[in-house]
Structure 1
Amino acid sequence: MERRSFLRGAVIGGTAAAFGGTLMHGAAYAAPAQPGPGPYGALGAADANGIQLPGGFTSRVIARSGRTVSGTSYAWHPAPDGGACFTDGSGWIYVSNSEVNPGGGASAVRFDSSGTITGAYRILSGTRQNCAGGATPWHTWLSCEEVSRGYVYETDPWGGTATRRAAMGRFKHEAAAADPVRRAVYLTEDETNGCFYRFIPTTWGNLSSGTLQVLVAGSGTTGSFAWADVPDPDGSPTATRSQVSGAKKFNGGEGCHYASDTVWFTTKGDNRVWQLNLASSTYELAYDDSLVAGGGAPLTGVDNVTGSSSGDLFVAEDGGNMEICIITPDDVVAPFLRITGQSGSEITGPAFSPDGRRLYFSSQRGTTGSSSGGITYEVTGPFRA
């Protein structure tokens, strides 16, 4: 039985084309994804940019850290990390965090309908180690600080005012994913004993106040879950992850993606992709590298995650083979692309353009292994709808 069946459609709020799922109800769990042939075939030889892609796909460099973005006067930020796309008239905007401390922040690149770059600019400055984040249905980017008692900043992809959202909790933030059905924002925590949270705004669309909750569940890899209020979202003197008895602990929370009653998130400490079935309040493993039959797991160093309109998950590696791997709706995992010659880096910020035809991502430290060597790419090709 397949783990999930998928609906198709665009994500609310003008972000990348996204996928949804109608989930199994009750506590029937499928085995985690296993290796198999990917839907796009084998990877070819590395192209001029050092990227191995399936047939029919091409890559181009969008920006390099410290260098002026082509066609603009803006120098791209160091250590590009989490990202998302937003509709901009007939074109779109790709936003990207900067994972340096101090400095941090986020930048944006604007494209016209043909994919030509028409602008680049800062959207957040003066923060610390902005790692991942998430788009909201009201067209803002949540940029998250990956530091102890870090903040979430709500930013304007068009370059307006950015606002610190202290009500969303102070902890080592990683990623965020908005759920318009339950009017909640899910949050991961990058600690070896981190938690998984949700923030329920007092008013949907306004993140200035609300309730921070933590997921409560047993110690297993499948089961049911509930939510409990975090008494002190400020996290001082007691860290948010230590305030609620029974809060489920996760080993290094990373990327997070919501679509149609499902949340997927990754944990780098144990190379897992978790799946929360919100309609049934159950959780399970979508992928675990230690459960790959016969060994030889294709996906390791799991990190940022996004989805396509076909129902495929695209999971970026922090290390591993410097791949973005795909997990299909029928639970097959396979490499989609591989970056060569950059073993001292990690892949970050995967996000699809609104039409689903272009995938953006970065190599955080590029060929140099330094935050000043980041490279942001675009891959274009016959992504399945």
Structure 2
Amino acid sequence: MDRRTLLRATVVGVGGAAFSGALWGQAFGAVAQPGPSPYGDLRAADANGVELPAGFTSRVIARSGQRVAGYTWHPAPDGGACFPDGSGWIYVSNSEVPLVGGASAVRFAADGSITSAYRILSRSNVNCAGGATPWGTWLSCEEVPLGRVFETWPAGGRSAEERTRMGRFKHEAAACDPVRQVVYLTEDEGDGCFYRFLPDTWGDLRTGRLQVLCAPAAQVTGPVTWQDIPDRDGFPIATRKQVSAAKHFDGGEGCWYDRGVCYFTTKGDNRVWAYDAAASSLDLAYDDSLVTGGTAPLTGVDNITGAPTSRDLFVAEDGGNMEINVITGEGVVAPFLRLPGQSSSEITGPAFSPDGSRLYFSSQRGTSGSSAGTGGITYEVTGPFRVRP
């Protein structure tokens, strides 16, 4: 029995997902399947080389090595997030390059015009993804062995600070759960783990406990437990190898929390997982091996975000055919945008403006495909994103 057949039998046998959280609140009982996009088909590429549905427009807000509001935009733009800023907002973006990675920010006025750009983190190493906190900071994560988490301040005016109590490992993304007062963390290793950090005081990430999700190796649905990591510094024994009951995931990537569910992606098997925090249960939201009709639209699964006006998920591809796909609350997965002619790049840093009217993302290597990330392009998409109660 091949992997596709085995997984389908496993998921059907347990009755599929039964989540109380955001995406599966409407009796969705199986992994997402291809279907018509709520936004319609993609149209021919616009002047910026972006294929979008009718009614949507794009603009380029920054290019690596070029000036934006007097500031030279960083190479290899990666994970990002948006933050309210008075009547405007700020978009932050990591730089996934060695030794001098860090993160930068672009500030927007209420009308969407760019007012400034600046550095918020310097002299860190291969800053890949991260996550926003409820108190308005950006967690920038290093994707290297013994990597660190840095807490940064998007508006500037305060130096970034290491948060090494959150574990030293090959970090990818982070997502905060304000109800249970924990931070979920993914690990970009072929046998990586899924972690949560429990700070001693919510809002202060300097001290706390690091735990790892535990479940049988073959389990894709069902209850899970958590165990403390004995040595969060990960040396000489890596954090992912310290707890024998830990469940391992094939290349942890993006991470997004919404109303009781933490969604995270694994690139090695093209999956979007869903952890129901209230039930302490794990399930699959999407798996390309479980697509039952036609070709899987979403491959190269990577960064993930949610639309604040609809709670749909938007999942970026590293590879695939350079798309951001939408996964709706009704369990439909479909392309939302595509970047033709950029097959040597990856889409990174998807994030919505606070009002949900604009989507930001980057093509890490752009049309050049340069491994140094010097061709990076950061985009904004504006249009009629749907609104659901």
Q: Deviations over 1:326-363 (max 9, x none)?
A: 00001100000001111110000000001100000000
Residue 287 (str. 1) matches residue 286 (str. 2) = yes
> C-alpha displacement at 1:22, in angstroms?
7.2
Contact 2:174 2:185 in 1 (8 A): yes
Taking structure 2 as the reference length, what is the TM-score of the superposition?
0.92
Residue 208 (str. 1) matches residue 206 (str. 2) = yes
Equivalent residues in 2 for 1:162-181, closer than 5 Å: 162-181=160-179
Equivalent residues in 2 for 1:1-385, closer than 5 Å: 20=22, 30-69=29-68, 72-159=69-156, 160-218=158-216, 219-308=218-307, 309-370=309-370, 371-385=373-387
Distance 1:266 1:357, change over 3 A: same
Q: Deviations over 1:249-308 (max 9, x none)?
A: 000000000011100000000000000111111111100001111341000000000001
> C-alpha displacement at 1:2, in angstroms?
9.8
In structure 1, what is the Cα distance between the partners aligned to 2:230 and 2:301? 31
In structure 2, what is the Cα distance between the partners aligned to 1:234 and 1:21? 35
Matched pairs, number: 368
Distance 1:23 1:36, change over 3 A: closer
The residue identity in structure 1 corresponding to 2:113 is: T
Three-state SS of the structure 2 residue aligned to 1:290 is: helix
> C-alpha displacement at 1:382, in angstroms?
0.1
The residue identity in structure 1 corresponding to 2:329 is: P
Contact 1:149 1:170 in 2 (8 A): yes
The residue identity in structure 2 corresponding to 1:372 is: T
Q: Could you say which residue in structure 1 is the equivalent of 2:9?
A: none
In structure 2, what is the Cα distance between the partners aligned to 1:5 and 1:119? 42
Three-state SS of the structure 1 residue aligned to 2:378 is: strand
> C-alpha displacement at 1:248, in angstroms?
0.4
The residue identity in structure 2 corresponding to 1:107 is: S
Contact 2:19 2:276 in 1 (8 A): no
In structure 2, what is the Cα distance between the partners aligned to 1:45 and 1:346? 20
The residue identity in structure 2 corresponding to 1:369 is: G
Q: Could you say which residue in structure 2 is the equivalent of 1:11?
A: none
In structure 1, what is the Cα distance between the partners aligned to 2:356 and 2:210? 33
Contact 1:3 1:329 in 2 (8 A): no
**Alignment root-mean-square deviation, CA:** 1.6
Q: Could you say which residue in structure 2 is the equivalent of 1:12?
A: none
In structure 2, what is the Cα distance between the partners aligned to 1:178 and 1:281? 16
> C-alpha displacement at 1:30, in angstroms?
2.5
> C-alpha displacement at 1:29, in angstroms?
8.4
In structure 2, what is the Cα distance between the partners aligned to 1:31 and 1:203? 37
In structure 2, what is the Cα distance between the partners aligned to 1:319 and 1:89? 37
> C-alpha displacement at 1:4, in angstroms?
7.1
In structure 2, what is the Cα distance between the partners aligned to 1:3 and 1:284? 6
Distance 1:234 1:283, change over 3 A: same
Distance 1:199 1:268, change over 3 A: same
- Structure 1: where are the runs of 5+ without partners? 8-19
Q: Deviations over 1:104-155 (max 9, x none)?
A: 1000000000000000000000000000000001100000000001000000
In structure 2, what is the Cα distance between the partners aligned to 1:355 and 1:195? 33
Q: Deviations over 1:14-71 (max 9, x none)?
A: xxxxxx45759xxx983211000000000000000110000000000000000001xx
In structure 1, what is the Cα distance between the partners aligned to 2:57 and 2:78? 22
Contact 1:193 1:249 in 2 (8 A): yes
The residue identity in structure 2 corresponding to 1:250 is: F
> C-alpha displacement at 1:80, in angstroms?
0.2
Three-state SS of the structure 2 residue aligned to 1:241 is: helix
Three-state SS of the structure 1 residue aligned to 2:71 is: coil
In structure 2, what is the Cα distance between the partners aligned to 1:29 and 1:215? 24
The residue identity in structure 1 corresponding to 2:376 is: G
In structure 2, what is the Cα distance between the partners aligned to 1:22 and 1:148? 35
Consecutive aligned runs of 4 or more in structure 1 exceeding 3 Å deviation? 1-7, 20-24
> C-alpha displacement at 1:5, in angstroms?
8.1
Q: Deviations over 1:196-247 (max 9, x none)?
A: 0000001100000000000001222111101100000000010000001110
- Structure 2: where are the runs of 5+ without partners? 1-14
Three-state SS of the structure 1 residue aligned to 2:165 is: helix
Three-state SS of the structure 2 residue aligned to 1:51 is: coil
Calculate percent identity across the aligned residue pairs: 69
Q: Deviations over 1:79-103 (max 9, x none)?
A: 0000000000000000000000021
Contact 2:28 2:331 in 1 (8 A): no
Three-state SS of the structure 2 residue aligned to 1:340 is: coil
Higher strand share: 1
In structure 2, what is the Cα distance between the partners aligned to 1:116 and 1:361? 17
In structure 1, what is the Cα distance between the partners aligned to 2:292 and 2:272? 16
Contact 2:265 2:271 in 1 (8 A): yes
